[in-house]
Amino acid sequence: MTSHGFNDLRGTLTDASTLRMQRRLPGPIERVWAYLSDSDLRRQWLASGTMTLQPGASFELVWRNDELSSSAAERPDGFSAESRATCQFVEVEPPRLMRYVWPGVGEVTIELEAIEDTVMLTLTHRQLQGEGLILNVCAGWHAHLALMLAHLEGGKPPSLWSTWKRLRKEYETQLRQSGSQ
């Protein structure tokens, strides 16, 4: 399996405040779930933080995106070396579903579906407000999922910040084009 084609597709804004993105990942589903729920594995592509997998449980995500990039010098202006968010699970059904509230950023749902020896990951991020946040979140999820895919495939992950900057420009162009139609 390669990360080209389907897994390179940009996410879509299904309405003005909802991002939907899908990726086909190498299975089994339990392995993909581990990359979502285990702090050490999740840190390799997104953020660390211990999770208690039950509705109502709070958990902290700790992003250190410089560690996921070729160099800290790639970090865009206005971003810190570390960022934290305390989120709360709304729904958890291992190994198929997690839905949580990310205060000030919206609600994230990640669904996994086993399809033969692969796993379809569907990410839906609702309640996005403001163009800047929408662009950052679209580029962020896209870039972070590219890292997750590379780890699952055993390949070399791309540099997070350089990928994020490129994708943010692409999403900005897409948003402007869709707004002018």
pLDDT along the chain (181 residues), means of 10: 64 93 97 98 98 98 98 96 98 98 98 97 97 96 97 96 96 82 45
Question: Which tokens in the block code for residue 107?
Answer: 């609600």
Q: What is the pTM of this model?
A: 0.94
Question: 3-class SS at 19?
Answer: strand
pLDDT at 170: 94
Which residues lie closer than 8 Å to 57 by C-beta, 6 or more apart? Answer: 51, 88, 89, 92
Nearest-angstrom CA–CA distance, 101 and 143:
21
pLDDT at 2: 39
pLDDT at 34: 98
pLDDT at 181: 45
pLDDT at 8: 80
Neighbours of 31 (CB within 10 A): 14
Nearest-angstrom CA–CA distance, 79 and 136:
11
